[in-house]
Amino acid sequence: MHIVVKFVARSITGFFVGISVLLVGIVALIAYAFVTGAEVYLPGVIKAWFTRENDMPALNFEPNGIGMVIAIISLALLYVCSTFQQSRRTTNSGASRMRN
């Protein structure tokens, strides 16, 4: 497979991995805020807190769109770099075995 095709495929996969990880983190954060009633943060991404309004529970949150985009891009880059490094190690180890 050509390296550009691999890079594009891994970038798209990394993008979806980043969205998935961020979504799981946000759901866990909101659930934690609801259960404990505490104010919780995912720094630069979202802040959630639990209040009572008219004797009814209310969950408030402030998302940060730019922080979410940065988190997704960072996770995607981390995924792409780690998979390229892993494939280079696998390729190099296979080549050294063939020479011996």
Per-residue b/e over 4-40, b at no fewer than 16 CB within 10 Å? eeeeeebeeebbebbeebbeeebeebbeebbeeeeeb
Tens digit of each residue's pLDDT (9 = 90 or more) over 2-59:
888 888 999 999 999 999 999 999 999 999 988 988 899 989 999 999 888 899 988 8
The pLDDT of 69-75, averaged and rounded, is 95
Domain residue ranges in the chain: 3-7+18-85
